[in-house]
Structure 1
Amino acid sequence: MDLGILLAMMLIFIGSFVQSSIGFGLAIVTAPILFQISPDYVPAPITTVALFLSLINANRHKATISLNGLWMAFLGRVPGSIAGGFLLYWVDANQLSLWLGVMVLLAVGISLLPIRIQPNPNRMMIAGFFSGFFGTSSGIGGPPIALLLQHQEANLIRANLSAFFVVSSLLSLAVQVPIGYMSLHHFYLSLPLLPASFLGYRAAMHYIDRIPRKTVRLASLAICFVSGMTAIISALHE
């Protein structure tokens, strides 16, 4: 098997472990480095993996899912996804690498904010818009919603984020198809990543009660920072 595919599978394993542990993080951890392996991995294949993983996690936590607070986020997600599609249509690969790096560092910064923002309908709609914009253009749609939900009980966070990501991923893929970012080629690229994602999920379920959530979060943020800087440096040196 090609070394690039093996590295991509390893990254997806780590990202899936993180997302299954804390509720989000798959794309933040993996997207910038996957892009360096091959620009074709971002955003459609990573969105496909996110859909697959979110379906698994949503099914596991289905008893805890509460959609009442998510409808406004879904509503904002639609125009955000379309806006993200327009951005994808206009940027080249080098600009996309820079965009990925900036988005990851921004996500790290948001995750470290000590502020507590209470979710309300207007904030959920705004977060849904930016989740759609970032998610469709870079695959990184989790942080805006996670910022609002981060103070909920852990299982509720995982459940609601998984449900949101299922719908979000479908919307992003629907936008990526007509602009050429999701084709059979991209689908085939996704296939080896799915077993790696499932193994990451299984590992997270095995260790979820043994590793402190804070430890997983801080380790993932460190990986995110390195991957974000890698994407930015790569773009600036082109």
Structure 2
Amino acid sequence: MLFIAVLTVCFGSFVQTVIGFGMAVIAAPILFYLNPEYVPGPIIFAALFNCLANVYRFRSSLSISGLKSAIIGRIPGCIVGAGLLVVASQHYLAILIAISILCAVVMNLFKFSLPVNNRNLFWAGFLSGVMGMSTSIGGPPIALVVQSEKASFIRANLAGFFLFSCVTSLMILIPMGIFTYEHLLLSLPLLPATLMGNYIAYHVVDYVNKTLIRYGTLCLCIVAVILMLIKVLS
């Protein structure tokens, strides 16, 4: 079981490094079926190290001003998502989120794109916070907004955004008792796998262009929809 968990996290880390997001989309559902305690805390803790490595690797393309609106939106989104974990039915919440992602994918396929401005980044950050806290899959909203940017911008700034997101989520999960010392111990074997995924990705990342990132983003968004619906309908 641990081998499957490690392999899954390594592949998820590889994908996130190459296209900018996707670690939770790939790893969270599999880890949940292996051991529900992996989600959300340990997978977020592992993703934190992926983001740290990527922020350092792609630091020359990092734009703090570009991140600001998304980060501001992420904070209330995390709070709302944490509240929904307590008071709302995950069944209906996940269906609503899945429909929202699917609409975004369809709009993108028909060449409808949102401009990268402060308003759209704020709401993408907000939705990412709600989804990340309530379903553990928070990447699609922000990735869909920035996908038209340069590949280096996407990787660097999504890494910066998700780094902040991981820290914020853990700060909320710890006092809620959802990320404890036992969860920390469960996370530790995942860290070498995370960094190995980063290392492998760095050797191929220069061969992945913006077109591949766009289609990779859309495919992972569709996967996220399917996995969330399977989770709530099963």
Q: TM-score, normalised by structure 1?
A: 0.84
Counterpart selection for 2:167 from 157, 165, 170: 170
Counterpart residue number, 1:131: 128
Verify: 1:110 aligned to 2:104, yes or no.
yes
Quote how far apart the aligned CAs of 1:228 are.
5.3
Q: Aligned-pair distance for 1:138?
A: 2.3
Alignment of 1:204-223 (within 5 A): 204-210=201-207
Q: 1:107 to 1:231 in 2, by over 3 A?
A: closer
How far apart, in 1, do the equivalents of 2:146 and 2:220 lie?
22
Contact 1:44 1:176 in 2 (8 A): yes
Q: Distance in 1 between matches of 2:47 and 2:94?
A: 16
1:171 is matched by which residue type in structure 2?
A: T
Paired position in structure 2 for 1:65: 62
Alignment match of 2:181 (pick from 181, 184, 192): 184
After the TM superposition, which segments of 4 or more aligned residues of structure 1 sit over 6 Å from their partners?
none
Which of 136, 140, 144 lines up with 2:137 in the alignment? Answer: 140
Structure 1 residues 126, 116: closer, same or farther in 2, change over 3 A?
same
* Structure 2 gap segments, 5+ residues each: none
- Residues 1:203 and 2:197 aligned together: no
Q: Equivalents in 2 of 1:170, 1:125: separation in Å? A: 18
TM-score, normalising length: structure 2: 0.85
Structure 1 distance, partners of 2:172, 2:104, is: 26
Per-residue CA distance 1:157-176 (angstroms, 9 max, x = gap)? 10111111111111111111
Residue of structure 2 equivalent to 1:80: 77
Residue 49 (structure 2) aligned to one of 26, 47, 52: 52
Q: Which amino acid aligns with 2:26?
A: V
Identity across the alignment (%): 39
Query: Structure 1 186/16 Cα, relative in aligned 2: closer, same or farther at 3 Å?
Result: same
CA, structure 1 residues 215+62, in 2 after alignment: closer, same or farther (shift >3 Å)?
closer
1:19 aligns with 16
| SS of alignment partner, residue 209 of structure 1 | helix
For 1:122 and 1:44, the matched residues in 2 are separated by 29
Distance in 2 between residues matched to 1:145 and 1:76, nearest whole Å: 11
Structure 1 residues 85 and 230 mapped into 2: Cα distance closer, same or farther (>3 Å)?
closer
Give the alignment's Cα RMSD to 1 decimal. 2.7
